[in-house]
């Protein structure tokens, strides 16, 4: 596993995560715009602007996942917390505003530490500072990292038992093979006696799904377009945001929402010294959001070495929260 620096005050030879992130974005942007079909990785939505836009999405009436998962966690917090041993380090993958973990923290007074991991470094720091104000006795150790590449826990925390939290159905933004790879990596990070709590959005009527990704207020469109706005901000790219249209639709066969940015006209653009041609109607595929059933997710987890030991869902079966344990876990 490669290791990433945890501190953002790194004055040594290694690039700071923010610098590394910017150069990864440049490389992947050029590769994605050169590919056919054009595509970008959804992790690049999340600079500070993107993280704030995502927070607005979570409040939209059409975007049921956040309030539904929050409802499940609020109802089942005690039962879920019961799987996490006292003295554990709780690692959250893609923590964003750390809103949902508060429900678990309230029930876990004896945690060794909370480690929010997120690629959106500035937003992560702000949210960690806010959380410290609310949980002054808790050791909060933010790690700015890409959770797909692995990271080390600070040495002082390496001996404690570990639990993972991965809410929001961010697992759905991976292709299924990449989701398996991520789950295997999480197993290595969390160890053989881990508990891993994963929020997974469920397959449902396509109309509910399409409404969730095509909100009337246009916030999801702004979130999608932010990936181009970010390239303009960071690299002086020349994307005219008005010349691209947000499109999101459900592919029932693949059980996924696809998000695209569709060029409204034929256009040529310069990005980092290179020129890219777009035909009218040509799209950049920016995100997939896979939806699972309880069984398809349990199977995926099993293929990555995890067993779903408990699963909770809301009454309308919109969303699920799985409690995973390593297949080899045995109660001692």
The structure tokens 């809301």 sit at 314
Contact flag: residue 5 with ligand SAH (CB under 6 A): no
CA atoms in the 13 A half-sphere facing the CB of 240: 10
Contact 76, 52 (CB under 8 A): no
Quick one: tokens of 155? 């040495």
Contact flag: residue 148 with ligand SAH (CB under 6 A): yes
CB atoms within 10 A of CB 283: 19
Contact flag: residue 70 with ligand AVI (CB under 6 A): no
Question: Which residue in 6, 38, 39, 43 binds ligand SAH (CB under 6 A)?
Answer: 43
Question: Which residue in 68, 120, 220, 226 binds ligand AVI (CB under 6 A)?
Answer: 220
Q: Which of 128, 122, 131, 81 is nearest to 102 (CA)?
A: 131
Q: Which of 78, 71, 76 is nearest to 99 (CA)?
A: 71
Question: Which residue in 72, 81, 119, 321 binds ligand SAH (CB under 6 A)?
Answer: 119
Cα distance between residue 258 and residue 248, in whole Å: 5
Q: Which of 75, 57, 120 is nearest to 289 (CA)?
A: 57
User: Quick one: which segment of 141-149, 153-161, 163-171, 185-193 binds ligand AVI (CB under 6 A)?
Assistant: 163-171
CB atoms within 10 A of CB 234: 16
| Minimum distance, C-beta of residue 95 to ligand AVI, in the bound complex (Å) | 12
Quick one: tokens of 198? 């994963």
User: Quick one: which segment of 10-18, 30-38, 128-136, 167-175 binds ligand AVI (CB under 6 A)?
Assistant: 167-175
| Minimum distance, C-beta of residue 115 to ligand SAH, in the bound complex (Å) | 12
Question: Which residue in 5, 17, 167, 176 binds ligand SAH (CB under 6 A)?
Answer: 167
Contact flag: residue 223 with ligand SAH (CB under 6 A): no
| Minimum distance, C-beta of residue 210 to ligand SAH, in the bound complex (Å) | 20
| Minimum distance, C-beta of residue 256 to ligand AVI, in the bound complex (Å) | 9
- Give the number of residues in contact with ligand SAH, rule: CB under 6 A: 19
């Amino acid at each position: 596993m490669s290791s990433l620096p945890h501190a953002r005050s790194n004055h040594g030879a290694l690039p700071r995560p923010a610098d590394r992130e910017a150069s990864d974005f440049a490389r992947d942007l050029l590769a994605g715009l050169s590919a056919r079909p054009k595509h970008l990785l959804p992790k690049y939505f999340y600079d500070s602007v993107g993280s704030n836009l995502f927070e607005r999405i979570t409040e939209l009436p059409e975007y049921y996942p956040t309030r539904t998962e929050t409802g499940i966690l609020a109802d089942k917090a005690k039962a879920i917390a019961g799987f996490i041993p006292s003295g554990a380090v709780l690692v959250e993958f893609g923590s964003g505003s750390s809103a949902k973990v508060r429900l678990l923290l309230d029930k876990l007074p004896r945690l060794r530490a909370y480690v929010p991991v997120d690629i959106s470094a500035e937003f992560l720091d702000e949210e960690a500072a806010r959380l410290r104000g609310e949980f002054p006795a808790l050791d909060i150790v933010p790690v700015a990292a890409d959770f797909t590449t692995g990271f080390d826990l600070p040495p002082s925390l390496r001996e404690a038992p570990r639990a993972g939290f991965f809410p929001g159905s961010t697992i759905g933004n991976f292709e299924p093979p990449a989701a398996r790879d991520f789950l295997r990596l999480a197993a290595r990070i969390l160890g053989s006696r881990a508990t891993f709590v994963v929020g997974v959005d469920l397959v449902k009527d396509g109309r509910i799904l399409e409404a969730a990704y095509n909100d009337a207020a246009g916030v999801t469109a702004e979130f999608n377009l932010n990936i181009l706005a970010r390239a303009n901000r960071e690299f002086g790219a020349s994307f005219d945001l008005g010349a691209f249209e947000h499109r999101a639709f459900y592919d029932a066969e693949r059980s996924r929402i696809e998000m695209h940015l569709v060029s409204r006209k034929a256009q040529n653009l310069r990005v980092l010294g290179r020129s890219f041609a777009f035909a009218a109607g040509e799209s950049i595929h920016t995100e997939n959001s896979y939806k699972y059933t309880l069984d398809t997710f349990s199977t995926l987890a099993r293929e990555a070495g995890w067993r779903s030991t408990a699963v909770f869902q809301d009454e309308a079966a919109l969303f699920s929260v799985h409690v995973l344990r390593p297949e080899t876990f045995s109660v001692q």
